[in-house]
Structure 1
Amino acid sequence: MEFNTSFESKLEIDSNYEDGAVITSLDFAHNLQFYETPPTVNMDYRPAVDLAIQRHQVLLAVEMAGRRFPKFSENYMKFLDGQLREINFQIAISSSYASGQATSSILKQRQEDAQSHFLLLIAFSETFQDRQWFLQQEVDLSHFRILCERNASIRDFLSQNNITYESISEDEKEHQRKELFAGCHSAKVKYFKKMKKLPPEEEAIEQRRFVMQWEFYKVPFKESVALL
């Protein structure tokens, strides 16, 4: 997909940007983001375009990785990691610091991550095909980034966004393993090592990424955030 630079004329960017704009740790407390609210800081025109172009290169790399390898396989992860390093999109290949320990450089990268996301959202908003492409690459990028995070960091992210979950006990895991083994004779039982209970989600059901039981589904820990 070619990048259409005509999106530049659609962006309303304040050219009177002040370098003294304050970025606080509360604004971007984690490398991972849900991109719920566009950043309100003003930007110079040229830096905004540069951020958008870089984000487009990132999404093209995500698309290329998905075409070359099974998504989120070992080869996929290695390839995309290398591509993102070449593009210098460091925020996607660095695990978050513990709460309150982010440097000013990390906070700036988190802010630019959010800015570039919304700039591309504008650029790819005209047609259904463009919107669909943008959404798919962003979802895959987020999934990749989650898999690169430490479990403790993911728990911080869930807590910061007021998302609660219930861990499954060892007895329940073993009971579930026996039931699945009896039904499909699968020996790959490590899948249930870190499962969580979450509210049901139709798309996740269709993709068979978890076990559905009563009003809950059970899913590996890192998959839980990807489903969100």
Structure 2
Amino acid sequence: MEFFSRKKKSISNSQAELYGNPLQFYGQPPLENISLTEFESFAVDRLKLLKTVENLGVSCVKLSDQYTRKLDSESKTLNFVYRPDTDDRKPQTGPSEHEKRRKDHISHFILRLAYCQTEDLRRWFIQQEVDLFRYRFNNLSSKQKLEFLHRNNLQYNTVSMSLFKSLFYN
């Protein structure tokens, strides 16, 4: 009988590139093997997070302070915290930011597969993921937002506040 120790997995270059950023469009599916228990726990945690996003969207104004506080709290509970300014090289307790981003990435694809069976399920999944993305994008700094846009080849020009107001209110 062989026993394997749980060594800390080394981070490959592709994983570092994939999980090095606080936000992603989930363009690449995960290619690694995971255990069945990890698969199940990732799926259950992601579903809890998306249910929280749904419930908060009904009970609070989206992206309000109350909405943000409650979603922050639930994200911490489920280890989906996305702290965009965290440096993984600094000592920290609990899972590293890389591990949280890995969990986020894998769990997204697990539920993406599970929720593609019917149009209603697909619509529900997409709506919750969009709301979660909006919440995370709003938590990024201006510099990180620009980096995200450039990294994903989304080219937008910055508009002055006065021009924005004139376009928005007219």
Does TM-score exceed 0.5, indicating one fold?
Answer: yes
1:59 lines up with 2:50 in the alignment: yes
- The runs of at least 4 consecutive aligned structure 1 residues that moved more than 6 Å come to none
- How many angstroms does 1:167 deviate by? 2.1
Aligned to 1:108: 99
Matches of 1:143 and 1:155 in 2, distance apart? 15
Secondary structure in structure 1 of the residue aligned to 2:98: helix
AA of the residue aligned to 1:132? R
Q: Alpha carbons of 1:42 and 1:62: their partners in 2 closer, same or farther (altered >3 Å)? A: same
Matches of 1:153 and 1:160 in 2, distance apart? 10
Give the alignment partner of residue 164 of structure 1, picking from 145, 151, 155: 155
Aligned to 2:135: 144
Deviations 1:60-84 (A, max 9, x none): 1101101111211222212222222
Give the alignment partner of residue 90 of structure 1, picking from 78, 81, 88: 81
Secondary structure in structure 2 of the residue aligned to 1:163: coil
Q: TM-score, normalised by structure 2?
A: 0.79
Aligned to 2:68: 77
Give the alignment partner of residue 23 of structure 1, picking from 9, 12, 34: 12
How many equivalent pairs are there? 157
Contact persistence 1:21–1:41 (CA under 8 A) = no
Secondary structure in structure 1 of the residue aligned to 2:17: coil
Contact persistence 1:52–1:119 (CA under 8 A) = yes
Query: Which has the larger share of strand?
Result: 1
Matches within 5 A, 1:185-204: none
Secondary structure in structure 1 of the residue aligned to 2:96: helix
Contact persistence 1:125–1:131 (CA under 8 A) = yes
Deviations 1:135-176 (A, max 9, x none): 1111100101111111111122222223222223x5xx5456
Q: Alpha carbons of 1:180 and 1:110: their partners in 2 closer, same or farther (altered >3 Å)? A: closer
Aligned to 2:111: 120
Q: Which moved more, 1:116-125 or 1:24-33?
A: 24-33
Aligned to 1:41: 32
Matches of 2:73 and 2:155 in 1, distance apart? 34
**Structural RMSD (CA):** 2.5
Matches of 1:154 and 1:39 in 2, distance apart? 24
- How many angstroms does 1:113 deviate by? 1.0
Q: Alpha carbons of 1:105 and 1:23: their partners in 2 closer, same or farther (altered >3 Å)? A: farther
Contact persistence 1:69–1:76 (CA under 8 A) = yes
The answer for unaligned runs of 5 or more in structure 2 is 1-6, 90-94
Matches of 1:51 and 1:180 in 2, distance apart? 41
AA of the residue aligned to 2:117? E
**Structure index of larger Rg:** 1
The answer for unaligned runs of 5 or more in structure 1 is 1-17, 184-228
